[in-house]
């Protein structure tokens, strides 16, 4: 498989990005208007027009959003894998561009759970269609979603490998250090391991500050062919590798609570890109909960299985550390509107373009956006690189 | 404690009527594929290994081991009045199911703990399989 998969390498590039978030946790716009603002900002960033767009990605309905925008695409993508949807969209769009199906693809996301509540707007929460085994085999037992399944994974990891609550808390602390350098982050004040451990237990062993935020947020990306990318407004950020894997929908069907499908798609994406973990300058690893980020570190090969706790405890994922992770402040401290994967891509692109100010990772050439969807169910890995990585 | 009746009682799925009927007599049964000679959970119309439909129901041993668990510290008032335990139990029969751990305090629950099935009545005569510490675990010093 490695031969054909390599054909996606550097065939396309992200040429425009946008995202919106606020320290208040709320945004002024919502719904399609917010999505349209993100599309406009990302196209402006790229130096492209709406009339250039011939592909649309959206995790609910690419048809509805394309109609609203007045776009008539020839590539459409509505795959919904939860928070990893946007990495999946990049993978599929990169493949479509490589195959010549389309040339300029826009992906967009907006959700405003916090202001929906304060403004009394109807919730956008939907129930899954069709027969749902979770109603029969999980819901009766009172497992809170989404943190319950992640707490189970944490309990298993602790029992099997001796991982501690202090080690998990360090992930939140290091991520907060990055957030303190992002003026749009929801939480920017310093955080200590003790404060995480003193925050109320939710689903044990996870404390409140082991859990992601609930905020408004939105974002968009523009992906185009490597050829078209060369003379646009910003330096192209090339898609070097992309892969997706899922192995369950319900947590009770996850084969091993300590091994996510990232152990499958991570190495595949890295192989397509021709990189090893040591080559990664910035890791954007979906941090819905501290345990989520810890599992990514192991499954992507930054440390051995079971060694995530000792790996993070010296703060190496924070500013100045050897593996900068979630430099925007992550889902734990920057923003988390429900499906956070869009923000992984946006920050990875900005780091590779050197636009991140006081949180810029010097000389960043390779960044990884690793999305996690549902309950550790669907992982999707996007490896991005600058022009310098194409040699 | 979880206060019955539960706000969410399980529907009977397309393939699981025999499972729920057996619970009326407090019998835990597991679906097996007779072609693969493998247990299946959750129940399906076809085997998820061979897609065949030569399936049958066999009595479970009713015992297993906790693979993972969490303690819900913020119960919905309609569900429970104090912290309770949700666990994934690996049955000795070879399948894993979600359940509650009852019959001991949440702080006594451990990954790897041996548990046995017990039954909590649902409002329609069916029973819900929950699990408690196996007798030897309670008597023994494996805490």
Please compute the mean of the pLDDT values over residues A299-325 and round it to a whole number.
Answer: 98
Q: Which residue out of A127, A142, A199 would a mutagenesis test of the B interface target, given it has the greatest number of B Cβ atoms within 10 Å?
A: A142
Q: Which residue out of A145, A150, A155 would a mutagenesis test of the B interface target, given it has the greatest number of B Cβ atoms within 10 Å?
A: A155
pLDDT at A1: 46
Residues in chain B: 143
What is the residue whose two structure tokens read 């129930």?
Answer: A127
Q: Which residue out of B11, B68, B73, B123 would a mutagenesis test of the A interface target, given it has the greatest number of A Cβ atoms within 10 Å?
A: B68
Chain B residues whose CB is inside 8 A of the A165 CB are: none
- At residue A289, φ and ψ (nearest 5 deg) are -145, 160
Tokens of A326: 């979630």
Partner residue facing A136 (CB), from B13, B87, B110: B13
pLDDT at A383: 98
Query: Does B50 reach chain A within 8 Å, measured CB to CB?
Result: no
Contact check, Cβ <8 Å, B100/A142? yes
SS3 at position A171: helix
* Distance (Å) from the alpha carbon of A143 to chain B's nearest alpha carbon: 6
SS3 at position A76: strand
Q: What is the dihedral of CA B107, B111, B112, B113, to 10 degrees?
A: 20
- At residue A360, φ and ψ (nearest 5 deg) are -65, 135
Contact check, Cβ <8 Å, B6/A140? yes
Would you list which residues of chain A are within 8 Å, Cβ to Cβ, of chain B? 131, 133, 135-144, 148, 151-153, 155-156, 158-160, 200-206, 251-253, 257
pLDDT at A225: 98
Instruction: Report the C-alpha gap between A209 and A214 in whole angstroms.
Output: 12
Contact check, Cβ <8 Å, B72/A143? yes
Query: Does B65 reach chain A within 8 Å, measured CB to CB?
Result: no
Contact check, Cβ <8 Å, B111/A151? no
Chain A residues whose CB is inside 8 A of the B72 CB are: 142-144, 148, 203
Partner residue facing B72 (CB), from A144, A156, A252: A144
B69 pairs with which residues across the strands?
B87
Tens of pLDDT along chain B (143 residues) come to 787 788 889 999 989 999 999 999 999 999 999 999 999 999 999 999 999 999 999 999 999 999 999 999 999 888 899 999 999 999 999 999 999 999 999 999 999 999 999 999 999 999 999 999 999 755 444 43
Please compute the mean of the pLDDT values over residues A297-311 and round it to a whole number.
Answer: 98
Predicted model pTM: 0.96
* Distance (Å) from the alpha carbon of A361 to chain B's nearest alpha carbon: 37
Contact check, Cβ <8 Å, A144/B74? yes
SS3 letters for B49-99? CCCCCCEEEEECCCEEEEEEEEEECCCCCCCECCCEEEEEEEECCCCEEEE
Chain B residues whose CB is inside 8 A of the A206 CB are: 70
Please compute the mean of the pLDDT values over residues A133-145 and round it to a whole number.
Answer: 95
The answer to whether residue A195 scores a pLDDT higher than 90 is yes
pLDDT at A48: 98
A368 pairs with which residues across the strands?
A283, A383
pLDDT at A208: 98
Tokens of A279: 């080559």
What percent of chain A stands above pLDDT 70? 96
Contact check, Cβ <8 Å, B10/A155? no
pLDDT at B3: 77
Note the pLDDT tens digit of each residue in A224-278: 999 999 999 999 999 999 999 999 999 999 999 999 999 999 999 999 999 999 9
Note the pLDDT tens digit of each residue in A94-134: 999 999 999 999 999 999 999 999 999 887 655 555 578 99
Contact check, Cβ <8 Å, B73/A201? yes
What is the residue whose two structure tokens read 């690996």?
Answer: B90
pLDDT at B2: 81
Note the pLDDT tens digit of each residue in A320-369: 999 999 999 999 999 999 999 999 999 999 999 999 999 999 999 999 99
pLDDT at B138: 54
Partner residue facing A142 (CB), from B42, B68, B72: B72
| Confidence label for A5 from pLDDT (cuts 50, 70 and 90) | low
10 Å CB burial of residue A212 (0-12, 13-18, 19+) is buried
Tokens of A49: 């027009």
**End-to-end Cα distance, chain A:** 22
| Backbone Cα Rg of chain B | 16
CA distances from A293 to A149, A237, A283, B16 (A): 14, 24, 10, 37
Q: What is the dihedral of CA A343, A347, A349, A355, to 10 degrees?
A: 140
Partner residue facing B84 (CB), from A142, A205, A252: A142
pLDDT at A274: 96
* Distance (Å) from the alpha carbon of B93 to chain A's nearest alpha carbon: 16
Longest C-alpha distance within chain A, in Å?
Answer: 57
Nearest residue of chain B to residue A205 (CA atoms): B70
Query: Does B90 reach chain A within 8 Å, measured CB to CB?
Result: no
Q: What is the dihedral of CA A332, A334, A335, A340, to 10 degrees?
A: -70
pLDDT at B140: 46
CA atoms within 13 A on the CB side of B18: 14
Q: Which residue out of A133, A138, A140 would a mutagenesis test of the B interface target, given it has the greatest number of B Cβ atoms within 10 Å?
A: A140
pLDDT at A132: 87
Chain B residues whose CB is inside 8 A of the A251 CB are: 88, 98
Tokens of A98: 């490589």
Please compute the mean of the pLDDT values over residues A309-316 and round it to a whole number.
Answer: 98
């Amino acid at each position: 498989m490695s031969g054909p998969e390599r054909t996606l390498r550097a065939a396309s590039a992200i040429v425009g990005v946008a995202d919106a978030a606020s320290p208040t946790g709320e945004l002024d716009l919502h719904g399609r208007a917010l999505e349209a603002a993100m599309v406009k900002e990302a196209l402006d960033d790229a130096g492209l027009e709406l009339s250039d767009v011939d592909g649309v990605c959206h995790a609910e309905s690419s048809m509805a959003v394309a109609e609203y925008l007045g776009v008539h695409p020839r590539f459409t993508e509505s795959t919904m894998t939860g928070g990893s949807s946007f990495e999946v969209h990049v993978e599929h769009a990169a493949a479509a561009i490589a195959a010549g199906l389309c040339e300029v693809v826009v992906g967009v996301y907006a959700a405003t759970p916090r202001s929906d509540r304060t403004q009394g707007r109807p919730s956008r929460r939907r129930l899954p269609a069709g027969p749902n085994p979770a109603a029969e085999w999980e819901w009766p037992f009172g497992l809170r979603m989404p943190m319950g399944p992640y707490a189970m994974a944490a309990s298993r990891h602790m029992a099997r490998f001796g991982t501690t609550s202090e080690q998990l808390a360090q992930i939140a602390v290091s991520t907060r250090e990055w957030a303190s350098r992002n003026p749009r982050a929801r939480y920017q004040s310093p955080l200590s391991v003790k404060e995480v451990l003193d925050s109320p237990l939710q689903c044990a062993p996870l404390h409140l500050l082991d859990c992601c935020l609930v905020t408004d947020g939105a974002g968009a990306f523009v992906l185009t062919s490597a050829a078209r990318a060369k003379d646009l407004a910003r330096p192209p950020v090339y898609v070097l590798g992309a892969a997706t894997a899922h192995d369950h929908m319900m947590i009770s069907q996850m084969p091993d609570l300590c091994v996510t499908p990232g152990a499958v798609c991570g190495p595949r994406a890295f192989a397509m890109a021709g990189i090893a973990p040591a080559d990664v300058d910035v890791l954007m690893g979906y941090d819905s909960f501290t345990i989520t980020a810890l599992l990514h570190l192991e499954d992507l090969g930054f440390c051995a299985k079971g060694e995530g706790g000792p790996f993070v405890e010296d703060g190496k994922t924070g500013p100045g550390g050897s593996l900068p992770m979630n430099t925007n402040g992550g889902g734990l401290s920057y923003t988390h509107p429900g499906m956070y994967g869009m923000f992984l891509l946006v920050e990875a692109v900005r780091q590779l373009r050197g636009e991140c100010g006081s949180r810029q990772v010097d000389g960043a050439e390779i960044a990884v956006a690793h999305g996690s969807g549902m309950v550790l169910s669907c992982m999707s890995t996007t490896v991005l690189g600058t022009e310098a990585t194409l040699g | 404690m979880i206060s019955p009746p539960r706000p969410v009682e399980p529907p009977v799925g397309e393939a699981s009527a025999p499972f729920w009927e057996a619970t009326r007599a407090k019998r835990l049964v597991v679906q097996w594929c007779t072609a693969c000679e493998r247990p299946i959970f959750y129940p399906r119309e076809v085997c998820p290994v061979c897609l065949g439909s030569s399936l049958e129901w066999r009595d479970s041993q009713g015992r297993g081991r906790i693979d993972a668990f969490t303690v819900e510290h913020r119960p919905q008032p309609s569900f429970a009045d104090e912290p309770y335990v949700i666990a994934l139990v690996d049955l000795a029969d070879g399948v894993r199911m979600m359940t509650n751990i009852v019959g001991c305090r949440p702080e006594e629950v451990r990954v790897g703990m041996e548990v046995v099935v017990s039954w909590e009545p649902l409002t329609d005569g069916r029973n819900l399989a929950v699990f408690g510490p196996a007798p030897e675990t309670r008597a023994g010093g494996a805490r």
